[in-house]
Structure 1
């Protein structure tokens, strides 16, 4: 109802948006992302919940040639390590073996077939990686050892909260940490001018032809969302829903305050 009322194609700052705002951060990630496509290895992407990590990677993978890269996305990480490898096996078209040793061999043989036979490089994105079991972090380097550790055949992105980076710096995971080739941290949009530009871009990309918020309203939104895109989008959509029964075609500060209160 509120989309029609405000003439929007999709929720502002929502998952349906295809035009991501970028004033440098996304470009930096895209550059590092391409590095690992050209030279397979491990990338680490961290940031606060709602900062846009998954949206950024979804945007980048949409542009990939499916004949060159097979994208495997995993977000169910709060399981045992064998379950994680079984999920990878199924995504690669391999029937998961019961024993982990055989499971590893079957997966690695399949990766060899894809890379050498089809020139297809797997790209494994592990989201919510802060929930991965410690034993996965410990033995993952051994899994990545191909041909006497002379070849890198799969690109892996570990994606998670800032605590993930701190975890991987611990001594028990030194082997895995030493294999990380790229580290990127996405940060909230906290500066006033950047945040205002971000909100205006989000509204315009959703189809809004005019400004819905006063400068004071944008500042309210910035402070309440702490610069996190997901939270800012929730507040905006809640305020728009509240505006419909009142017949408003803009979002006054009082309405934003009401939306912020409802989401607390």
Structure 2
């Protein structure tokens, strides 16, 4: 109903929108440039940030730009797993039939990664999402698994993505060997106040609405409530549109923003 009331062709704040409609925030631009560099040099990249700051969205966009004839992307979102489950998941992602023995899977994974790079000229990109949940044993094995030719070659691009606590975990002495192998380290700071204004304007415009729906006071309140999280920002904006429609308000003000915030906040 709110789409008709505000003259929108679609929900401009839906997370399922095509990545081509992305908003180029500073975080998005900075992280993407580092991902482009990482794919050219291979090795391990670390990308951290608060919940909803756009980490997974940026990676989804990055993955969508990779030529499937030249890149093989393995995305592993389930991080609360055992060591054996880790090896099995990675084996499945690489198209390998998992063995019952860890040593056999280790050898098969390394051989496959080397073959893809050397023989087939295919660069493998492995993405571990929510990596803050990876067990110490898995992180220990990961540094060994990515050790090729006596640690003289990089045959794969490995991306660790997680909340800020991931940096704390990797700063521990036990993970020093893995930390030294990280060639890119970027932290998402979240969407800024200036970007929120442009984000709302750009998204509404792409949905066919060119009028001012949110006044400046409302935008400032929305920024304060979202705390840099694009996910929370989107939820708040949609709720504002729903309440605004219910109250038949052509322009959304701070009262509607506060009402929307109260509805989505978990007490």
Question: Could you say which TM-score interval applies, normalised by the shorter chain?
Answer: over 0.9
Q: Is 1:128 the counterpart of 2:109 in the alignment?
A: no
Q: Find the counterpart in structure 2 of residue 70 from structure 1.
A: 72
Q: Report if aligned partners of 1:47, 1:53 keep a CA contact under 8 Å in 2.
A: yes
SS at match of 1:151: coil
Does residue 81 of structure 1 match 2:83?
Answer: yes
SS in 2 for 1:118: coil
| Structure-2 separation of matches of 1:17 and 1:209 | 20
Q: CA RMSD in A?
A: 1.7
Change (3 A) 1:23 1:98: same
Paired residue for 2:165, among 145, 163, 166? 163
Would the alpha carbon gap of residues 194 and 244 (structure 1) be closer, same or farther in structure 2, given more than 3 Å must change? closer
Report if aligned partners of 1:43, 1:183 keep a CA contact under 8 Å in 2.
Answer: yes
Aligned length: 263
In structure 1, the partner of 2:17 is 16
Report the alpha carbon displacement of residue 13 of structure 1 after superposing the two structures with TM. Answer: 5.9
Aligned to 1:242: 243
Q: Which runs of 5+ in 1 are unaligned?
A: none
Deviation track 1:134-157 (CA, whole Å, cap 9, x = no partner) reads: 111122111111122222111011
Are 1:26 and 2:28 counterparts? yes
Contact 1:115 1:153 in 2 (8 A): yes
Alignment of 1:37-186 (within 5 A): 37-186=39-188
Tell me how far 1:23 sits from its aligned partner.
Answer: 4.6
- In the other structure, the counterpart of 1:199 is 200
Separation (CA, whole Å) in 2 of partners of 1:167 and 1:206: 42
Secondary structure (helix, strand or coil) at the match of 2:127 reads strand
Question: 2:119 & 2:5 partners in 1: Cα distance?
Answer: 54
- Give secondary structure in 2 for the equivalent of 1:182: strand
Partners of 2:232 and 2:9 lie apart in 1 by 19
User: Structure 2 stretches of 5 or more lacking a match?
Assistant: none
Structure 1 range deviating more: 112-121 or 67-76: 112-121
Normalised by the size of structure 2, how large is the TM-score? Answer: 0.92
Answer with 212-221 or 143-152: which moved more.
Answer: 143-152
> Structure 1 CA distance, aligned partners of 2:111 and 2:213?
56
Q: Give, in whole Å, the separation in 2 of the partners of 1:15 and 1:63.
A: 17
Maintained 8 Å contact 1:3/1:11? no
**Match runs of 1:241-260 below 5 Å:** 241-260=242-261
Measured after TM superposition, the shift of residue 62 of structure 1 is 0.9
TM-score w.r.t. length of structure 1? 0.93
